[in-house]
Amino acid sequence: MAVAATVPQPPEVAAAAYIIEDAQSGQVLASKGLHDQVEPASLTKLMTAYLSFKALSEGRLKPDQMLTVSDKGWRSEGSRMFLDPKKPASVDDLLKGLIVQSGNDAAVTLAEAIGGSEEGFAQIMNAEAKRLGMTNTHFDNSTGLPGPQHLTSVADLAILANAIIRDYPQYYPIYSLKSFAYNNINQPNRNLLLYRDPSVDGLKTGHTSSAGYNLVASSNRNGRRVISVVVGTESPEARATESSKLLNWALQFFDTPKLYNANESITDVKVYKGKSSTVGVGFLRDAYVSVPQGSAKNLKPVLETVQPVVAPIAKGRVLGTLKLMDGEQVVAEKEVVALADVPEAGWFGRLWDGLVLWVKGLFA
């Protein structure tokens, strides 16, 4: 995204890497070390939770299902929810122990229930990371304990945080719980911003001696949601302070107006060799753009489509780019897609349009 000169520079952030992103537009507003590989520490549990939510949604786990911690899970190093090997815990409690208390014992228990073993679950984690487009991520385990290949990037963590909020909104409120008690032990959520900023409703902290102090945070304020990822800070206080700087900067100096509704046709594009001669192009989800505050009124959309468009066309196929212009400046670009399937025409229609394209090619 090209940012107008009227936007103040991002704040100085004392971290190894960071990203601040508008969740609605998907635009990165500022970053440092965007794709550098870093240790996620307990931010790993965002993926453990995502796959647990997926298993719940698909009926492979039930909220009231009782699971017993294995010896491996019970002996896990680091933070824990203090599971008792003699007392099964519900999936619902395990999720709260995973998210609020950052319990490694909860992570291993859920991982073994979903993947058969933590090693099997790690394979599922990596497949899901690939599906989501997390290109700099590899998981060795469900907890975030250090491993030679256990790495991610702040860009990938932002993708994952967005996916949790977008795909499983019914479970997202767990991230805003300020404490959770299990086995007569009450533990506070380590995300300090939950106590300081009422607009912050998630997501997760992480820490190891080698990774430093990490935080993925999200703020939902005045109809806008922004997500920050800060890694490699020096203390629990620093990760909260640095994250707050980024969230407030993004919310104060940018607007995110809606451009188009989901499945709203921007225009019809000519189709060759198809059963339909045109197809609508637009966005499958509501489309937003992040721009410097007060500049939305200056935007002019310019649509550039791929030519020629030849059937068959699947709904969702990219057919061009919408450029948002402020004068001569390109503020943002968004891919537009086909809003419907267009199957091939019969042989005569294909023959005729093939002839038309041949003639057009002669005069191009």
Q: pLDDT tens, 67-109?
A: 999 999 999 989 999 999 999 999 999 999 999 999 999 999 9
Residues 6+ apart with CB under 8 A from 216: 43, 46, 157, 158, 161, 202, 203, 204, 227, 228, 229
Please list, residue by residue across 15-24, b when 16 or more beta carbons sit within 10 angstroms of its beta carbon and e when fewer do: bbbbbbbbbb
Q: What percent of the chain has pLDDT over 90?
A: 77
pLDDT tens-digit readout, 120-144 = 999 999 999 999 999 999 999 999 9
Q: What is the structure's pLDDT at 326?
A: 85
Among residues 65, 126, 60, which one has the least CA distance to residue 94? 65
142 flagged as catalytic? no
How would residue 308 be classed by pLDDT, with cut points 50, 70 and 90?
confident
At residue 258, does pLDDT exceed 70?
A: yes
Lowest-pLDDT range, 166-175, 204-213, 259-268, 303-312?
A: 303-312
Among residues 63, 77, 153, 62, which one has the least CA distance to residue 108? 77
Q: Which residue has the tokens 């299902």?
A: 65
Highest mean pLDDT among 145-149, 214-218, 305-309 belongs to 214-218
Mean pLDDT of 196-214: 95
Lowest-pLDDT range, 207-216, 300-309, 354-363?
A: 354-363
At residue 346, does pLDDT exceed 70?
A: no
The active-site residue out of 25, 70, 79, 102 is 102
The active-site residue out of 25, 31, 45, 153 is 45
Q: What is the structure's pLDDT at 307?
A: 82
How would residue 1 be classed by pLDDT, with cut points 50, 70 and 90?
very low
At residue 348, does pLDDT exceed 80?
A: no
The residue ranking higher by pLDDT, 360 or 235, is 235
199 flagged as catalytic? no
Q: What is the structure's pLDDT at 293?
A: 87
**Helix (H, G, I), strand (E, B), or coil: what is residue 325?**
strand
How would residue 7 be classed by pLDDT, with cut points 50, 70 and 90?
confident
Report CA 4 to chain centroid distance, whole Å: 25
Lowest-pLDDT range, 71-80, 124-133, 172-181, 242-251?
A: 71-80
Q: Are 47 and 189 in contact (CB under 8 A)?
A: no
102 flagged as catalytic? yes
The active-site residue out of 42, 218, 243, 290 is 42
How would residue 4 be classed by pLDDT, with cut points 50, 70 and 90?
very low
The residue ranking higher by pLDDT, 176 or 309, is 176
At residue 345, does pLDDT exceed 70?
A: no
Per-residue tokens: 344 = 């091939």
Among residues 45, 18, 11, which one has the least CA distance to residue 232? 18
The residue ranking higher by pLDDT, 65 or 329, is 65
At residue 45, does pLDDT exceed 70?
A: yes
At residue 118, does pLDDT exceed 90?
A: yes
At residue 353, does pLDDT exceed 80?
A: no
Q: What is the structure's pLDDT at 352?
A: 64
Q: What is the distance between the terminal CA atoms of the chain, rounded to a whole angstrom?
A: 33
Global pTM value:
0.89
Lowest-pLDDT range, 2-6, 56-60, 274-278?
A: 2-6
Please list, residue by residue across 231-257, b when 16 or more beta carbons sit within 10 angstroms of its beta carbon and e when fewer do: bbbeeeebbbbbbbbbbbbbbebbbbe
Mean pLDDT of the chain: 92
Q: What is the structure's pLDDT at 27?
A: 93
